[in-house]
Amino acid sequence: MPTELIGRHGLARRVHERGGEREFRFLYRDRRPRLPVWRDGRLQVVRWGNGRGQSRFLPRTGWTWLSTIHEGGWRGLGAIPVDIPATLALERGVWFRVRQGIRGLLVPDEHGIAVVYMICEPASHY
């Protein structure tokens, strides 16, 4: 994580040690949920979803289904695909490895503020 982003977004409090390695934790339940995203070759930290109802027209969640995107559910909102750099994720209290990062959908709210939604797909059979 670039030092400039750590300072600008107060990310020092998100640092944790895991097996001697430093990692940054971004949780949806945080008071101000944020996620790092790669957009146009630049790493940015943006608002994660609309769970607190900051926007009156965006969905009050932090996720969207890939099928919703394919069905045109985000059409006309200026949404663009982004990459969310991640090596671990948390689901129902269990941490698991992420092999290739996570895809996200970045959309402006009515004030022009960038908001990211994680893109979900049904689990594969394993």
The rounded Cα 24 to chain-centroid distance in angstroms is 13
Per-residue pLDDT at 125: 66
Per-residue pLDDT at 14: 76
Other beta carbons within 10 Å of 49:
21
- CA distances (Å), 75 to each of 31, 65, 70, 100, in order? 29, 14, 9, 26
Per-residue pLDDT at 76: 94
What average pLDDT score do residues 2-21 get?
Answer: 74
**116/69 Cα distance (integer angstroms):** 13
Paired strand residues for 89: 96
Please state the domain extents for the chain.
32-120
Q: What is the pLDDT of residues 25-76, one digit of tens each?
A: 888 999 999 999 999 999 999 999 999 999 999 999 999 999 999 999 999 9
Query: Which amino acid is residue 11, in one-letter code?
Result: L
Q: What is the pLDDT of residues 71-118, one digit of tens each?
A: 999 999 999 999 999 988 888 888 888 988 899 999 999 999 999 999
Per-residue pLDDT at 73: 96
The beta-carbon contacts of 32-35 under 8 Å, at least 24 apart in sequence, are: 33/62, 34/9, 35/84, 35/104, 35/116, 35/118
Per-residue pLDDT at 45: 94
What average pLDDT score do residues 7-11 get?
Answer: 71
